Structure 1
Amino acid sequence: MWPSRNRTETVTCLACGDEVARARAREYDKYGDRWSRDDKTFEHVCKSCHGELCHYPRDDLEELLVELEAGESETRTFLSRYVTTVEERYGTLEEES
């Protein structure tokens, strides 16, 4: 198969900021739908960071982050509101041992 002419050779990992070869990165679609490719541009995560990501479903996550105005307030304030909202909607968060 011939390589695509419009693909860059290197990409920047959105998690750590490192520039890596495209072949050594994973495509990331913040909407969780990387298979619908029409008119999309993807962000990328290096394989090392990809392995450290949580791979659980993230239904409603983007909408919740927008609702809670992520990035608009101090980290402690945001996290407090996030935990409170998640517990109200989905139950108490408990770490598995």
Structure 2
Amino acid sequence: MALWSSRNRTETVTCLACGVDVARSDAREYDKHGDRWDRDDKTFEHLCKSCFGDLCHQPRDGLEDLLVDLEAGENSQGVFLSQYLSTVEDRYGPLEEGQD
């Protein structure tokens, strides 16, 4: 057996957005802390290329803290979204509608 044979092994990962299993080479790393370059002691989640392309790549400072504050995943989607919109409006002001 060759010394480097494990490097050629196809590793499968699961997209955290859609749940599809894809080859690691066909996925993008996702770091919920927004710092994918610091690799010390990290375990990354993955997104398929399609879901990664659908992401908003805008800064998300404070988003994780907000989700924790709102206990995301503990309530129904409707309750969560209502709490989220109310909290965002309280913290950052009224939401603006996009212009067509």
Q: Normalising by structure 1, what TM-score?
A: 0.88
The alignment-based identity, stated in percent, is: 73
Over 6 Å off, 4+ runs: none
Matches within 5 A, 1:68-79: 68-79=70-81
- Aligned CA RMSD, in angstroms, stands at 1.9
**Residue 26 (structure 1) aligned with residue 53 (structure 2):** no
Could you say which residue in structure 1 is the equivalent of 2:95? 93
Moved more, 70-79 or 59-68: 70-79
Counterpart code for 1:84: S
Number of aligned residues? 95
Moved more, 73-82 or 7-16: 7-16
Partner SS for 1:93: coil
Give me the whole-angstrom Cα distance separating, in 2, the residues matched to 1:20 and 1:91: 40
Q: Normalising by structure 2, what TM-score?
A: 0.86
Structure 1 gap ranges (5+): none
Give me the whole-angstrom Cα distance separating, in 1, the residues matched to 2:15 and 2:78: 25
Quote how far apart the aligned CAs of 1:65 are: 0.4
**Residue 14 (structure 1) aligned with residue 16 (structure 2):** yes
Structure 2 gap ranges (5+): none
Counterpart code for 1:9: E
Quote how far apart the aligned CAs of 1:8 are: 6.1
Counterpart code for 2:86: T
Max radius of gyration: which structure?
A: 2
Quote how far apart the aligned CAs of 1:91 are: 1.4
Q: Deviations over 1:28-72 (max 9, x none)?
A: 000101111000000000000111111111100000000011111
